[in-house]
A and B are shown apart, each in its own frame.
Chain A
């Protein structure tokens, strides 16, 4: 009897671990294919490689300063970034095909604390095939694509923060 109860407990725990967290509206579930390669440098020349961030969730956010929803969304990103330790959730901003001058001027005016990687010729963005700009991919700790955010949103909203808290608790 005791063994059966223990088995049930183990099974229930396993089911709970495997259960998917329901995403808020505006997130498209992806098929878990491996994320494309992404290694880019920021405006100071510091390079970041997505492959080296395995073991944590990563949000890859493509944007451009000429895009209206990107401009509205950008100031909400610091709330998200500050809500999670980077070893649990990292956010990679990728500017699509703009000059250092345009990006520096824009970020300084809306979110001076943000840094972005520079996809100077737009070819990395092309490989990721986002559905538009802005676009955010959720990459799981194994480097697989799990969700894509459609359009812009308030990343500091309770719905998204709660979803990401639950999601990043899962080991996958």
Chain B
């Protein structure tokens, strides 16, 4: 647990308020939605230019932490995560390649792009026994509450029984736009 908290400090040094913690079939799952002020403070402190921080504040950042407490491999694959609003309409996730394209168009320095990349939850990753992984998952801000359904294949080849985690009642706090 200590390792897990340390990891969250690395990937997400925001306050741990209004969060979700679920343990299912040996997988610890943590999620917290961030306010624009929190993402502003987080990325400004890491040297991202204002133009990038303002762009980031337009999205909804979900901080996620995972800890594989199983004896076998658990697979993280963000393509297997679905965000949907109350009407079942899909909410778009903004992938790291999509951010990279934005940063290139905005001429954000490579160093800032690299730092941003390290704060994101990996698109795909095998999680070895006792391994932790964490980072941010940005989505296009929905107007109301939404639900995350995430599937995690298991086993060395990913063919074991998948773990499914469902988090209803999520929302994106908006505490004021950046000037």
Contacts and interface: CB of A to CB of B under 8 A. Distances in A.
Given A69-B10, A72-B6, A133-B10, A121 B118 contact: no
Interface in A98-114: 98-99, 102
Contacts of A150: 128, 131
Contacts of B23: none
Contacts of A132: 7, 10-11, 118, 133
Contacts of A163: none
Contacts of B115: 64, 66, 96-98, 122
Interface stretch (A8-16, A45-53, A123-131): A123-131
Interface in B125-139: 125, 128, 130-133
Interface residues of A, number: 27
Contacts of A86: none
Interface of B: 3, 6-7, 9-11, 13, 45-47, 109-115, 117-118, 122, 125, 128, 130-133
Interface of A: 25-26, 28, 64, 66-70, 72, 96-99, 102, 120-123, 125-126, 131-133, 150-152
Contacts of B117: 122, 126
B131 A152 contact: no
A99 B113 CA distance: 14
Contacts, number: 71
A39 B9 CA distance: 30
B interface: dominant SS: helix
Contact of B6 (A69, A98, A102): A69
Given A132-B118, A151-B6, 9 more contacts: A66-B13, A69-B9, A99-B47, A121-B114, A122-B113, A131-B133, A133-B10, A151-B131, A152-B6
Contacts of A26: 130
B128 A28 contact: yes
A67 B47 CA distance: 13
